[in-house]
Amino acid sequence: MTTARGPFGSPSPDMAVYVISVAAELTGLHPQTLRAYERMGLIAPGRTPGGGRRYSHRDLELLREIADLTSAGIGLEGVRRILELDNQVNALRARNDELVAELAATREALGQALAAARGSSPNKLPVLRGPDPGQSLMVWRRPR
């Protein structure tokens, strides 16, 4: 069970704090529906040492999303696939953000290396060192 706290001491969105009856009431779903969704692998609530289910705020949002999709006529296998694709999209967006930041840092380092090399010999090319000691980037210029 997550014990992290958000700002001002409030529970983090991932902290499993809601018992099944409260989660059912907050989402408008029956407790048996929540259990069925767990059996199907659509949701994975936290567990107490005694085995009781505890739902986080993020779990409640997911349950509401599942309820919205099923009420729109989408079957549970369709819901499962939509959730998988949504997770893939989120992971790809995060990776894209990482790559954009890495590219910006590389461009900045290359710009600094080129600026430092301007005063030296035209045949001397900058070598950029990566974050790992064994990494480097060589910039090649074709002879004219």
Tens of pLDDT, residues 53-78: 999 999 999 999 999 999 999 999 99
Torsion of CA 116, 117, 120, 125, to 10 degrees: 150
> pLDDT tier at 2 (50, 70, 90 boundaries)?
very low
- Return residue ranges of the chain for CATH 1.10.1660.10: 1-73
Fold of the domain spanning 1-73: Multidrug-efflux Transporter Regulator; Chain: A; Domain 2 (1.10.1660)
Q: What is the pLDDT of residue 60?
A: 96
Alpha carbon distances (Å) from 59 to 17, 35, 53: 10, 13, 11
> pLDDT tier at 138 (50, 70, 90 boundaries)?
low
pTM: 0.65
Q: What is the pLDDT of residue 11?
A: 74
The pLDDT of residue 96 is above 70 = yes
Position 103, amino acid: L
Report the alpha-carbon distance of residue 23 to residue 45 in Å, rounded: 10
Both structure tokens of 103: 């590219």
DSSP-derived 3-state class of residue 129: strand
DSSP-derived 3-state class of residue 54: strand
